[in-house]
Amino acid sequence: QRKNPFSNDHRHASKPANAHRGDPTYGRPPEGSRTEQRGKDAHSHVGKEVEELCLIIRSTGEVREDGHVSVTFGQLFETYVTISNKVVGILLRARKHGLVHFEGEMLWQGKDDDVVITLL
């Protein structure tokens, strides 16, 4: 669909209809669009939450012999949940960026309260 059928404005869509997976613009909003700006803002917000999570781990955790700071998931959850309800998602993002380490794919409240999270 090159035209938006729900709009009275019949301009063509800003992206060509023939975008394909090999195209570097495939799956991305047009440059300079409000959608692109919202994505950048969201990325920045999540980055700040990851930084805040790392600061909380540093302040509530214990320094180990190797110099790394560790905290259990249960302790971190109780501390961080008052700040944000996205503890697990932010932890996964922090692990993806190599900032924290913990065993397992996902952490569950109650079941994984004793899992140790290490700040790298």
Question: Coil, strand, or helix at residue 41?
Answer: helix
Listing DSSP states for 93-114 in one string gives HHHHTTSEE-SSS---TTTTTT
Closest CA to 100 of 68, 66, 59, 62: 68
The fold of the 34-119 domain, in CATH, is Arc Repressor Mutant, subunit A (1.10.10)
CA distance 39 to 30: 11
Task: Say what the pLDDT of residue 45 is.
Answer: 92
The confidence score (pLDDT) of residue 47 equals 92
The phi and psi torsions of 52 (rounded to 5 degrees) equal -65, -40
- pTM comes to 0.70
Would you kindly state where each structural domain of the chain is located, as residue ranges?
34-119
Q: Which of 82, 83, 84, 76 is nearest to 107 (CA)?
A: 76
pLDDT tens, position by position, for the chain (120 residues)? 566 667 666 555 554 556 678 888 888 888 899 999 999 999 999 999 999 999 999 999 999 999 999 999 999 998 887 777 788 999 999 999 999 999 999 999 889 999 999 999
